[in-house]
Structure 1
Amino acid sequence: MTAGSNSGTHFHVAAAGAASFPALQAAVGPWLPYAMAGAAACCTLLILLMALAPTAAITQRSARSNTPLVVLGVLYGAVLLASWSPDTLHLMMPGSLEEGLKGGFNPQFFPTLGSVMALFSRPFTAASFLLHVAAINLIAARSAYLDGLVSRVPTAHSILLSAVVGPLGLLCHQLTKGTYSLLAALTGKDLRPAARPVAEKSGSGTITIMPYE
């Protein structure tokens, strides 16, 4: 047991020593699992609100606020810096200019399967990648939701799809808008859900904002 513990200790010390910012990695490491869980919970809650309660005041305030994205961006930046090692850029873009100029078709600086596997075998790099994906998916879901308020098309399916694969969620939203436009052209009727007034409350009173046509 003692030998195993020492091996684990040496592994962590070696990993921290290989980092470009070992002090940051040591500081981030203890709270990283909790930060990841908190980020996942907040993103999930916001996405569920946008999908299931799109007209609720708390949903609209939360979706229009930049705070969730700023917090997620700061967390991502901290974890990315903590994950950075002297060989990170080389693994992301392997190759050399000399090899590329030797003649023939010899592209350089493209990630290889081996380099990607090496990068994501590192816990901090994997964590930064997950935060990167979470940010992209949240931005996609938020974009579909806010556009849906204006265009008056259903967005729940697009938002939920964005939570898993953001770009496909945005594509789904555009297809939904296109479908409603096509149906309107074919039938001569607006088949979109009826417009609902949006109320904004403040200390001085309540303002009702009608949806855009």
Structure 2
Amino acid sequence: MVPSACSFSSQMSLKVNRIWHFKQHCDRSGFSIRGFTNSQIARSVFTLGTAAVLPFYTLMVLAPKTELTRKTMESTIPYFVLGLLYAYLLYLSWTPDTIRLMFASKYWLPELCSIGKMFSSEMTLASAWIHLLAVDLFAARQVYQDGLENEIEIRHSVSLCLLFCPVGIVTHMFTKLLSKNRRNTE
């Protein structure tokens, strides 16, 4: 038997309320970082996350073929650390309205105005930034590894992945295509 949308909504609401009450209990019992406001935490993690990815991009751009860069880019540690930071900020930004704002339409799809309301919180915005940093670094690593494997210049594409990841990926695809065509004509 398929549950109705109404019963699904009730179940989700109950789960959200349980998470919210657990979060409130943890906050009262000192689980969060004492002495820091949510704004201070969000700003600190934003800065920490931004600074943490820069050495990886620097290595891929300035020394792409060195053994240090190859070994560093094989590591999963940056994704683990960014994942923990993201999970912590997500936890701190969670409210009973989070699910309702994310899936505001009758089709359970996000709506732009609701997502905008969510991102009006510094904590939610900081968590989204950490999410982007992790995904962008992962994509840059894929571009880097593909470039090494196919002997393609990747510095420009990796650089673009830092702030404009989809553009960096497209640039890499064009570079790969142009390199392949050039090799075929030689």
Shorter-chain TM-score: which interval? 0.7 to 0.9
| 1:26, distance to aligned residue in structure 2 (A) | 4.0
Task: Verify the 8 A CA contact 1:76 1:131 in the aligned structure 2.
Answer: yes
Once superposed, which parts of structure 1, at least 4 consecutive aligned residues long, lie more than 6 Å away?
A: none
TM-score of the pair, normalised by structure 2: 0.77
What is the CA–CA distance in structure 1 between the aligned matches of 2:124 and 2:58, rounded to whole Å?
Answer: 28
Query: How many corresponding residue pairs?
Result: 158
Is 1:131–2:130 an aligned residue pair?
A: yes
State the partner residue of 1:13. Answer: none
Which residue is equivalent to 1:152? 151
* Alignment equivalent of 1:44, drawn from 49, 54, 57: 54
Distance in 2 (alpha carbons) for counterparts of 1:178 and 1:129: 32
Q: Which digits, 9 at most, give the CA deviation of each residue in 1:130-180, with x for residues without a partner?
A: 111111110111111111111100000100111112222122112111111
Equivalence map 1:27-38=2 (5 Å): 27=33, 29=38, 30-38=40-48
* Amino acid aligned to 2:160: L
TM-score by length of 1: 0.68
Shift of 1:111: 2.4
RMSD, aligned α-carbons: 2.0
Q: Aligned pair in 2 of structure 1 residues 168, 25: CA closer, same or farther (>3 Å)?
A: farther
Q: How far apart are residue 70 of structure 1 and its match?
A: 0.9
Structure 2: 5+ residue stretches without partners: 1-18
Amino acid at match of 2:80: V
Q: How does 1:5-20 map to 2 (within 5 A)?
A: 20=20
**Structure 2: how far apart are the matches of 1:176 and 1:57?**
24
Cα deviation, residue 31, structure 1: 4.1
- Which of the pair is proportionally richer in helix? 2
Say if 2:108 is the partner of 1:109: yes
Kindly state the Cα deviation for residue 32 of structure 1 after the two structures are TM-superposed: 4.0
Amino acid at match of 2:83: G
Larger radius of gyration: 1
Match in the other structure for 1:93: 103
User: Identity across aligned pairs (percent)?
Assistant: 31
Q: Higher relative CO (CA 8 A, sep ≥ 6), structure 1 or 2?
A: 2
Decide whether the 8 Å contact of 1:93 with 1:110 is kept in 2: yes
Question: What is the match of residue 178 of structure 1?
Answer: 177
Extract unaligned runs of 5+ from structure 1.
1-18, 97-107, 190-213
Change in Cα spacing, 1:31 to 1:58, as seen in structure 2 (3 Å) is farther
